[in-house]
Amino acid sequence: MPRRKPQPRNTRRGASNANRDEAGFGDALTRRESGPSGYSDEDYVVRTIPGSRATKTYRCPGCDHDIRPGVPHLVTWPAEYGGADDRRHWHTGCWSGRSTRGLTRRWS
């Protein structure tokens, strides 16, 4: 039986890298997506945070509930002008539904 070729780290079989940025953030890759409702004409950089890396409690702007340590989630920031102060931590489901509902918490 032929041996399988090892897969590179941080990639999934069959996943398209067309929507991924070249630049990584630490050891995590980032991607660009349209923003939440009201900001959908802007591109946002999105980074996935695995549960093992989630060490603080954050407030999700999509549902206004806590994201507890150990919960996998996303960090997003505006692609054009975003910096450390513009990053927001979202539940994955809240970010997925961002186009069908408005923000419950204003960017503060």
Whole-prediction pTM: 0.70
Position of tokens 């996303």?
74
Find the helix or strand (DSSP H, E) in which 94 lies.
helix 92-96
pLDDT above 80: residue 91: yes
pLDDT of residue 28: 64
- At residue 97 the predicted structure's pLDDT band, cuts being 50, 70 and 90, is very high
Element (H, E) at 92: helix 92-96
Residues facing residue 76 across a β-bridge: 46, 88
Q: Which residue has the higher pLDDT, 93 or 7?
A: 93
Spatial separation of the C-alpha atoms in residues 32 and 12, rounded to whole Å: 18
Q: pLDDT by residue (tens digit) across 14-50?
A: 344 434 443 445 556 899 999 988 788 899 999 999 9
